[in-house]
């Protein structure tokens, strides 16, 4: 909270009520708004997740303290708890109820009708005075307004604070004082006041009383709630004393909260009393000793306004740092830990999608998905980049290759330096790069091979042990992730992960490139075992066969969808033997891996958004007349592109 001092205005000038040149006029020290970093942080969260585009006024809560040492301005503090109306008020602080007007654009912030906003609140205060509600609950006199615009991209907050004070029709002449309480009260009286105030607070169960009534003589001091004024002052017609919990430190001036109390007093009691004595109760602890002796006391003439029906004029918009009437801006980004700032900023872009474009988008399902990327080449790098864009925090790479000189221009997680020597292992370098891009990611790399059909293991040597441990490691990895991406450069390396993922019922997204063609598909998902349903290849070719009798146009449920190997007529084998250089997968139009990588992730996101997840019926553009099944549109079985032909 060391930043909060940033948002304090300088020592304010006094606000004087005008009129009656005979006597000294009472002047008031206005509030300075003290908006804590925690407040802005919480506003950010509310705006992002709850308010979104809603510009309706919101109830918020602030408080003020009256125990500051001399020199500090009277502050109305708003912190992270401001949005929780049931949050407790800190000890020895007085609550103030506010209204937040948070605009969607800087333009509406600037053009907001501040006069109208002030009048509306002043009216409410006036109504509570007239109706007597303010007597019952004096907190109603402590209202404030906060007009804001939050530029969440830059962590710039524009704001204008207003603490409405109703104005008496004329200025308030000082009859006596102000003097320090210890100049008027004996130590005994002071002690009695303190005790009486504490007892009343305790009885009422409040941390502080903003306004109260006082009766005293040489030996005793009594205090009471405003609403008991007739009983409390019964028979007493000579003198009325009111206490105000005063956030101001200045010896000659009371703070702002007194203003509305004086209006209430004038309205209620000016017919009975010509003047009122005011005790500005100030209550500090210095060097372990509690002290209220520096409170001030004075007497003012009460204007007559008992029968005025109209709301008096009101003032209260805070001046800005330059002393003029205008809004303030605070840049919170400098106060934030850069890594934390990066996390919030990434969240922001995602959450903005939910405001209007895809309000039902369930981001948690995406962000929390643990993704296993088998292959950290052109596809792996592009898939990882897109996952990062979607806010996915848990990304694991598996690859057994090292970075070669031709990689960086096509594999967007590597740089020239990574190729030096014999090249860094791709899986490890990719994980490192993700951390460099976004420190909040949990990225790991496994530099290992995936056992493949057609690539026999030498059973007489240690390679058998290695292959066994590779299979175990792969099983463990598939088991500990939610989505498995097949992004390798051979067909046969996709086989074992396909089988393992099918047996563990993990969502598999498969992407494969040609020269100017690619396929991006989700594998069908076996039904949960307890349902005892039909199986799905590759573990069991029975699945797709079920479809033979059904219409081609029937929607196929996720558990009947095939996998990458379902339509193959040959078993996977060694596809790398006897291939010329240009028959290897990297001979591909350079843009293709980006297309396929991006579509693979978008497909995953769409599937995760579907209420049935991987069991979602495969939808296609033939279904485009139907309502899209998710907030992100269709959930097809596959995305195909032939760049040459279409």
The first and second tokens of residue 378, run together, are: 């052109």
Kindly identify the residues of this chain, within the stretch 113-142, that bind a second copy according to CB under 8 A: none
**Binding marks (x or -) toward a second copy, 247..286, rule CB under 8 A?**
----------------------------------------
Binders of a second copy among residues 452 to 481 (CB under 8 A) are none
582 binds a second copy (CB under 8 A): yes
Site string for a second copy, 347-386 (x = CB under 8 A): -xx--xx-xxxx-----------------------x--xx
549 binds a second copy (CB under 8 A): no
Question: Per the residue annotation, which of 162, 537, 585, 646 is the catalytic one?
Answer: 585
CA 368 – CA 472 distance, rounded (Å):
25
Using the CB atoms, write b or e for 348-367: b if 16+ within 10 Å.
Answer: eebbeebbeeeeebebeebb
Q: Cβ of 618: how many Cβ atoms within 10 Å?
A: 19
Question: Interface with a second copy includes 587 (CB under 8 A)?
Answer: yes
> Which tokens is 2 given?
């060391």
End-to-end alpha-carbon separation of the chain, Å? 59
> Per rule CB under 8 A, is residue 417 in the interface with a second copy?
yes
- By CB under 8 A, the residues from 151 to 180 that bind a second copy are 151-154
Beta bridge partners of 297: 179, 279
For residue 305, give the DSSP letter: -
Q: How far is the CB of 584 from a second copy (least distance, A)?
A: 8
Query: Given the complex with a second copy, which of 386 and 510 has the nearer CB atom?
Result: 386
Closer CB to a second copy, 167 or 352, in the complex: 352
Listed in sequence order, the residues at least 6 apart from 600 whose beta carbon sits closer than 8 Å to its beta carbon are: 379, 383, 386, 485, 487, 509, 510, 511, 520
Shortest approach of a second copy to residue 289 CB, angstroms?
47
Q: Which residues within the stretch 26-85 sit at the binding site for a second copy (CB under 8 A)?
A: 52-53
Among 25, 90, 438, 447, binds a second copy (CB under 8 A): 438
Q: Is 406 in the site for a second copy (CB under 8 A)?
A: yes
Residue with Cβ nearer a second copy (1 or 357): 357
Nearer to a second copy by Cβ, of 81 and 609: the residue is: 609
- Candidates 88, 132, 323, 439: give the one binding a second copy (CB under 8 A): 439
CA-CA-CA-CA torsion for 124, 129, 134, 138, nearest 10 degrees? 90
> What is the SS3 assignment for 422?
coil
Which residues does 73 contact at the CB level (< 8 Å), separation at least 6?
8, 9, 10, 11, 12, 29, 32, 249
Residue of the chain from 2, 238, 460, 580 that contacts a second copy (CB under 8 A): 580
Separate counts of helices (H) and strands (E) for the chain? 16, 25
Given candidates 19, 38, 57, 389, which one binds a second copy under the rule CB under 8 A? 389
- State which residue, 105 or 131, has the beta carbon closest to a second copy: 105
Sign (positive or negative) of CA dihedral 19, 21, 22, 27 = positive
Residue 471: CB atoms within 10 Å: 14
Nearer CB in complex with a second copy: 17/384 = 384
Buried b (16+ CB within 10 A) or exposed e, 440-466: bbebbbbbbbbbbebbeeeeeeeeeee
Nearest approach in angstroms of CB 491 to a second copy is 18
For 170, counting Cβ atoms within 10 Å of its Cβ (0-12 exposed, 13-18 middle, 19+ buried), the class is middle
* Phi, psi angle pair for 203, to nearest 5°: -60, -40
Residue 403 within binding range of a second copy, rule CB under 8 A: no
* Min separation Cβ 239 and a second copy, Å: 57
Q: Which span (16-24, 296-304, 464-472, 596-604) binds a second copy, by CB under 8 A?
A: 596-604
Count of residues that interact with a second copy, criterion CB under 8 A: 84
Question: CB 184: neighbour CB atoms within 10 A?
Answer: 18
* Options 436, 458, 468, 554; binder of a second copy; rule CB under 8 A: 436
Bridge partners, residue 150, by sequence: 157
Among 16, 624, 626, 640, binds a second copy (CB under 8 A): 624
Sign of torsion over alpha carbons 470, 476, 478, 481: negative
- The 3-state DSSP class for residue 243 equals strand
Residue closer to a second copy, measured from CB, 529 or 577: 577
> According to CB under 8 A, which one of 577, 607, 618, 626 is a site residue for a second copy?
577
Residues 6+ apart with CB under 8 A from 99: 57, 58, 59, 60, 121, 143, 144, 145, 146
Peptide bond into 432 cis (omega under 30): no
Q: 117, 213, 419, 521: which one contacts a second copy (CB under 8 A)?
A: 419
* Pairing state between β 15-16 and 314-317: unpaired
Residue 6 interacts with a second copy (CB under 8 A)?
no
Single out the residue of 87, 206, 342, 499 in contact with a second copy (rule: CB under 8 A): 342
Judged by CB under 8 A, which of 21, 187, 288, 338 binds a second copy?
338
Of 513-532, binders to a second copy (CB under 8 A) are 515-516
Q: Does residue 585 have an active-site annotation?
A: yes
- Min CB(558)–a second copy separation in Å: 20
Least spacing, CB of residue 521 vs a second copy, in Å: 16
Q: State residue 640 phi and psi, 5-degree precision.
A: -120, 150
Choice between 33 and 382, CB closer to a second copy: 382
Q: What is the closest distance, in whole angstroms, from the C-beta atom of residue 515 to a second copy in the complex?
A: 4
Stretch that binds a second copy, among 234-242, 290-298, 409-417, 490-498 (CB under 8 A): 409-417
**Shortest distance, position 474 Cβ to a second copy, whole Å:** 26
Contact between 163 and 32 under an 8 Å Cβ cutoff? The reply is no
Identify whether the C-beta of residue 132 lies closer than 8 Å to the C-beta of residue 223. no
Among 458, 591, 626, 640, binds a second copy (CB under 8 A): 591
Q: Binding segment for a second copy among 256-264, 293-301, 436-444, 494-502 (CB under 8 A)?
A: 436-444
Catalytic residue ranges: 585
């Amino acid at each position: 909270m060391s930043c909060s001092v940033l948002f304090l205005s300088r020592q304010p000038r006094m606000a004087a009520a005008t009129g009656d040149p005979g006597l000294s006029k009472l002047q008031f020290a206005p509030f300075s708004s003290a908006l804590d970093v925690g407040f802005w942080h919480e506003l950010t969260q509310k705006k992002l997740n709850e308010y979104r585009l809603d510009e309706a006024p919101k109830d918020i809560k602030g408080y003020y303290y009256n125990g500051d040492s001399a020199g500090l301005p009277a502050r109305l503090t708003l912190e992270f708890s401001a949005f929780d109306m049931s949050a407790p008020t800190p000890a020895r602080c007085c609550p103030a109820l506010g209204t937040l007007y948070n605009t969607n654009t800087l333009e509406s912030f600037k053009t907001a009708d501040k006069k109208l906003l002030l009048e509306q609140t002043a009216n409410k205060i006036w109504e509570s005075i007239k109706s007597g509600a303010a007597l019952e609950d004096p907190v109603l006199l402590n209202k404030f307004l906060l007009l804001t615009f939050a530029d969440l991209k830059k962590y710039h907050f524009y704001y204008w604070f207003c603490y409405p004070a109703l104005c008496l029709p004329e200025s308030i002449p000082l009859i006596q004082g102000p003097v320090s309480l210890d100049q008027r009260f004996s130590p005994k009286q002071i002690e009695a006041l303190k005790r009486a105030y504490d007892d009343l607070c305790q009885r009422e169960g409040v941390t502080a009383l903003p306004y109260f009534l006082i009766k005293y003589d040489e030996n005793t001091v009594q205090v009471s709630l405003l609403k008991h004024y007739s009983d409390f002052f019964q028979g007493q017609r000579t003198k009325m004393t009111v206490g105000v919990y005063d956030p101001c430190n200045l010896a000659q001036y009371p703070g702002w909260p007194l203003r509305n109390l004086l209006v209430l007093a004038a309205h209620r009691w000016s017919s009975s009393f010509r003047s009122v004595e005011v005790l500005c109760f100030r209550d500090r602890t210095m060097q372990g000793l509690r002290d209220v002796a520096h409170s001030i006391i004075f007497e003012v003439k009460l204007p007559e306004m008992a029968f005025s029906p109209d709301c008096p004029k009101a003032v209260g918009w805070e001046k800005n740092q330059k002393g003029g009437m205008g809004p303030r801006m605070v840049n919170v980004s400098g106060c934030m830990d850069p890594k934390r700032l990066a996390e919030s900023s990434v969240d922001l872009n995602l959450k903005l999608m939910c405001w209007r474009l895809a309000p039902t988008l369930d981001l948690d399902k995406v962000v929390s998905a643990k993704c296993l990327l088998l292959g950290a080449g052109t596809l792996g790098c592009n898939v990882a980049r897109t996952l990062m864009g979607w806010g996915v925090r848990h990304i694991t790479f598996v690859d057994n290759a090292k970075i070669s000189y031709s990689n960086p221009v096509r594999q967007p997680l590597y740089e020239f330096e990574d190729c030096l020597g014999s090249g860094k292992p791709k899986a490890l370098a990719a994980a490192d790069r993700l951390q460099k891009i976004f420190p909040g990611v949990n990225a790991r790399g496994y530099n290992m091979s995936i056992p493949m059909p057609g690539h026999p293991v030498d059973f007489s040597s240690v390679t058998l042990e290695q292959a066994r441990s590779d299979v175990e490691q792969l099983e463990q990895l598939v088991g500990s992730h939610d989505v498995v991406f097949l992004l390798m450069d051979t067909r046969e390396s996709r086989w074992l992960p396909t089988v393992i993922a099918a047996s563990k019922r993990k969502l598999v997204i498969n992407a494969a490139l040609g020269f100017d063609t690619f396929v991006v598909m989700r594998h069908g998902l076996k039904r949960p075992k307890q349902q005892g349903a039909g199986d799905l290849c590759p573990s069991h070719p029975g699945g797709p066969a079920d479809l033979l009798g059904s219409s081609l146009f029937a929607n196929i449920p996720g558990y009947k969808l095939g996998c990458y190997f379902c339509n193959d007529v040959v078993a996977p084998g060694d596809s790398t033997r006897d291939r010329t250089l240009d028959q290897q997968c990297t001979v591909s139009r350079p843009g293709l891996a980006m297309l396929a990588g991006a579509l693979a992730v978008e497909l995953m996101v769409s599937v995760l958004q579907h209420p049935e997840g991987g069991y979602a019926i495969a939808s296609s553009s033939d279904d485009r007349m139907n309502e899209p099944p998710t907030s992100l549109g269709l959930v097809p079985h596959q995305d195909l592109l032939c760049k040459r032909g279409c």
